[in-house]
Every structure is written in C-alpha cells, then in structure tokens.
Structure 1
Amino acid sequence: MTPAKITVQNTPITITAKNNNDYICITDMAKARNDDSRAADIIKNWIRNRATLEFLGTWELLYNPDFKVVEFDHLRMQAGLPTFTLSIGEWIEKTNAIGLTVERGRYGGTYAHKDIAFEFGSAISPTFKLYLIKEYQRLKEQDNDPQQLEWNAKRFLTKTNYLIQTDAVKNYIIPQTNYTKTTEWLAYADEADLINVALFGCTAKQWRDANPELAKTANIRDYATINELAILSNLQTHNAELIKQNISKEQRFTTLTEIARYQTKVLTEAEKIRTNPQELKP
C-alpha cells in the first residue's frame, strides 16, 4: 500500500501503516529544522537525551510485552553522559522496541508510532508539533469521510481491474506483435488510452498537456468522479475479455465507447433521482 502524505509547514511527511497503527517518518520531520544531511544527526541527538529515553521506555512498557526492561535500564543509566551515544538501530536491537522502526527503499527513513512522532515534534519546535497534530487529524477525518471512502474503494477496484487488463495485453497482444522489450510499454499505454478516450474523450498525454500543474502530482484518473471510476472499472474488465476474444482494437474501442456512454447516462439519471427525489412526483 502506498504511504499517505501530509505537509507540515511546507515539509512533506510520509505516514505508513504497520500492525494496524500509523507510523510517521521522523526523518522527514527532521528536515523541517535543517537541510537533509542533518536529519540523521537531529534524530541521534534526540534519542540520546534522557527525557527522550524515559518517554520511549514508558511507551514500550505500556504497549510492548516483549520490551527488554533490563537493557532499557542500562541505557537510561548512561543517558546524559558525554560519552553516551545511541542509534535508532541500537535502541531497537538492544531493547526489542517496536515504537521506532527503520525502513529501506523508496520510502525509507526512520519511522515512529504516531504517539512518539508527536513527541519528536517537540524537538523541531512546539509550533511544528501543533501543526503536525492538526494535519494528521485532518488526514484521519478525510479518511473516515464516507464519500472519500467510497471514492478510494472504487479507485482501488479500478487499479485491481487494470492488472487484469495489463495481463490480457501481455498474454494476448504482445506475443502477436514485434515490440522489442524496451518498447513493450507502448502496448500497455495504448490500451490505457483506449479506455481514457472512450470515457474521458482524451488520452493521458492530452490531459497532461492541458493540465501541466495538475499533472505534476496526479493523472487524469485521479480527477475522475466516483461514477467515472465505477465505469472505468467496468471498462477495464470488459476490455480484457474482448482482448482474449481477439477482437480488433477498432471494434473494442467502438464497444467500449458505447458502454461508457450508456453507463454514464444510467448513473447520471440515478444520481438525479437520488439527489432530487421530488422530480419523480407528478
């Protein structure tokens, strides 16, 4: 699952889910205070502080039954000494802590359970901490909005059905063409745009050219309505079946366009009835 993003005082911050809990990237948070190269130093200085260790230890005692208390007490006794150093990795390894984690890859960095991340916000500034909490709460409210949940569900369904379609392209179109490995993606793009044009009336590139600012962070399907996403999902599944039947691209486009128009009309009428039931009365 793609991590969520919030922006706190112009600083993008990643939020990921782990064991049904939200973990916030404190590496991203640290960048709000200094340049990227100093983020690791800020975290190291924070964790070696006695007050920080007291907070982390208390949190682990509350929520982690496997927390190694003896090792924690040993570290707490050393905290504050000039020679004391501690990394996130050492803290996790020595105490079996779960409140902090280090992730690799595209969204790599040090992540902290939201309770701990809010505490770390104080190391940036009290103001930053308050804005962090505010933006996090806004994200949760948005996630729990019924209409947003419906949109997300249909977007997920669309993406799932896209996998069905691309699998059909891979197995039924590419083997019959002379695409080289480096240009294989063209077949996928063609099929995606076949549906884009059938539903939206333009290709993805045409939409990007017409919406350069929006295209920096999104694509044409991200701005689709809930009804359009439902239709898009249906078109992708239907297109996959047509591909398997060796129906030509021209015939498929005609069929998909007709389906898109019909389903758009049906859903539009249904929406009118739902929002204006008085119109049904004589």
Structure 2
Amino acid sequence: MSKSNKFTVQEREISFLSHGDNDFLSLTDIAKYRSNYDPNDVIRNWMRGKSTIAFLGLWEILNNSDFKPVEFDGFKSEAGYNYFVLSPQKWIEKTNAKGIISKSGRYGGTFAHKDIAFEFASWISSEFKLYLITEFQKLKNEENDRLSLNWSFQRTLAKVNYRIHADAITEKIIPLELTKEQSAMIYASEADMLNVALFGKTAQEWKNGNCNLEGNIRDHATLEQLVVLSNMESLNSVMIHQGLPQKDRIAQLNLTAIMQLKSLLNNKSLKRLQNP
C-alpha cells in the first residue's frame, strides 16, 4: 500500500490509499462524521449488524479467493445479538479478509475498499455518502485527466524525436538518387528496427496479432515504453550520424531498451507520478 492521500468532503478530510486499480478509503475518517471522540467505536458498532456481516462476507467471496467461509459463517450466526462484538482486526485475522485493512503509524487507521467504504458511509448518513461518492469521483476524474495528459506529452515527444530521427536517416542512409518510394521503404525499416528493439516485433507482426485493436503498436505503448522510445530515437540518430550499420545499432538499442525499462519500472518518482 502507498502513503495515504486526502480529499475533502463537507469540510472533512478523508484519507485514501491506492493499490493498483483498487482504492481504500479511511473508515476512521468517515466515522468522524458521527463521532470525533471515538471513531473506532462507530466502526465496531457498524460491524455488529447482521446486514453488515452479510455484505462484508459477500464482498470477500466475490473478490478474495483466500477468504475463510467457515469462520465467516460463525460471525454471521452471532451477528445482531447483544453480546456480539467485532473489530476490524478480528475480522481480518479470523477470515483472512482483504476488503478491510488496519494500519498503524502516522498514516494509520481502518481503511476499506471503496465498495465497502460507501456502504459504511450509507450507514453513517445517506447525505454524507452522496457527497463522499461525488467528491471521490471528481478526484479520480482529475487523476485520469492528468495521466492522460502525461501520456499525450510522451507520445508527442516521441513524434518530435521521430522527426529528428527521420532527418538523420535522410542525411546519412538514403542516397540522393533513390526515389521517394524507395526512401519510404528505408524509413519503414528503421522504424521497425526500433519496434523490434523495444517491443520484440515489427509493426505488422503486432497488427497481425491484434486485429481487433485500433491504431498501431505505439498507440498502445505504456508510459515507460514511450519514454524509452523517445530516448532510442535520439540515440539511433546519433549512431546513424556516426556511420554505424543497422545490425550494430539494433543490438545497442535493444540493450538500451532493456536497461532503461528496468530502471523506469523501479523508479519511485515515476510510480508517484502514475499513482499520486
């Protein structure tokens, strides 16, 4: 799990964690809408109800293959009785639940998958739940717009570098006596050399295996691949000016792609950019 982020709902800060495609909202912060003094008691009271246990169990059955149904059945049979008490920690420990997590430390508290958090918010206040969903969706839309802008920027950068790359091909590879059609064939060869070095296949090979997708191999590249592609285009133009033959350049470009992709995939700053 990453460090918690925050957004505001009716002048109250709500923390959340993002893990892959899943978002976990702070039940502790949501519970403060009802009680600032002991939000943990609010969460425990919610978890005592039969409908709550049924909902939590169903969510786990649908989303968690490691969930323990026998232990869940025990809680379900006792839920609703005056003596029944259940904490998030006990629920997690006994059933191996994944939809609720309990964190300690600076960014601690009880967090739950957004499906569960919205259900809890509904128990707290229907009005508050509506504001919570609205503000959280607004936040995610802004995040998606930002990531789309970053991807578009890298795509544009790759296109700009391709122009530099193409100019180097014109100057150093294409003899003046070639026709435009012959020149275009060499451009295609150089572009596919980069595709093979980075993606492991030519544009046509990719298209043959992805007939149902629109666009080309580069349109479906990841942010990391586009960053590396722009660097490879610049490097290839330098090697072209140095007079290196294509067979030597493709080996160097492939090593560069492997090295840079490994570095980017382990880059914490880039991960924060993609998961702010």
Moved more, 1-10 or 108-117: 1-10
Corresponding residue of 1:51: 51
Corresponding residue of 1:186: none
Looking at structure 1, the residues matched to 80 and 133 of structure 2 have their Cα atoms a distance apart, in angstroms, of: 29
SS of structure 1 residue aligned to 2:38 = helix
What's the offset of the Cα at 1:149?
5.0
What is the root-mean-square deviation of aligned Cα atoms in Å?
2.0
What's the offset of the Cα at 1:20?
3.6
1:129 aligns with 2:139: no
Looking at structure 2, the residues matched to 46 and 129 of structure 1 have their Cα atoms a distance apart, in angstroms, of: 15
What's the offset of the Cα at 1:34?
1.5
What's the offset of the Cα at 1:82?
0.9
- Do the aligned partners of 2:3 and 2:107 also contact (CA within 8 Å) in 1? no
Corresponding residue of 1:141: 141
- Do the aligned partners of 1:142 and 1:148 also contact (CA within 8 Å) in 2? no
Structure 1 letter corresponding to 2:53: L
Structure 2 residue runs without a partner (length 5+): 155-276
Corresponding residue of 2:9: 8
SS of structure 2 residue aligned to 1:144 = helix
Q: Identity over aligned residues, as a percent?
A: 51
Question: Which structure 2 residues correspond to residues 11-160 of structure 1 after superposition, within 5 A?
Answer: 11-35=12-36, 37-146=37-146, 150=150
- Do the aligned partners of 1:44 and 1:86 also contact (CA within 8 Å) in 2? yes
Structure 1 letter corresponding to 2:29: D
Question: Which structure 2 residues correspond to residues 150-229 of structure 1 after superposition, within 5 A?
Answer: 150=150
Looking at structure 2, the residues matched to 43 and 67 of structure 1 have their Cα atoms a distance apart, in angstroms, of: 21
Looking at structure 2, the residues matched to 71 and 64 of structure 1 have their Cα atoms a distance apart, in angstroms, of: 14
SS of structure 2 residue aligned to 1:24 = strand
Looking at structure 2, the residues matched to 80 and 131 of structure 1 have their Cα atoms a distance apart, in angstroms, of: 29
Corresponding residue of 1:169: none
- Do the aligned partners of 1:13 and 1:25 also contact (CA within 8 Å) in 2? yes
Looking at structure 2, the residues matched to 13 and 149 of structure 1 have their Cα atoms a distance apart, in angstroms, of: 26
SS of structure 2 residue aligned to 1:17 = strand
- Do the aligned partners of 1:23 and 1:111 also contact (CA within 8 Å) in 2? yes
Deviations 1:26-52 (A, max 9, x none): 1011111122x2201100000111100
Structure 1 residue runs without a partner (length 5+): 155-282
Looking at structure 1, the residues matched to 128 and 149 of structure 2 have their Cα atoms a distance apart, in angstroms, of: 29
Looking at structure 1, the residues matched to 40 and 92 of structure 2 have their Cα atoms a distance apart, in angstroms, of: 16
For the pair shown, the structure with the greater C-alpha radius of gyration is: 2
TM-score (norm 1): 0.51
Looking at structure 2, the residues matched to 81 and 146 of structure 1 have their Cα atoms a distance apart, in angstroms, of: 49
Deviations 1:210-257 (A, max 9, x none): xxxxxxxxxxxxxxxxxxxxxxxxxxxxxxxxxxxxxxxxxxxxxxxx
Corresponding residue of 2:194: none
SS of structure 2 residue aligned to 1:14 = strand
Looking at structure 2, the residues matched to 72 and 2 of structure 1 have their Cα atoms a distance apart, in angstroms, of: 30
Q: What number of residue pairs does the alignment pair up? A: 152
What's the offset of the Cα at 1:18?
2.8
Structure 2 letter corresponding to 1:10: E
Looking at structure 1, the residues matched to 145 and 13 of structure 2 have their Cα atoms a distance apart, in angstroms, of: 23
What's the offset of the Cα at 1:148?
7.7
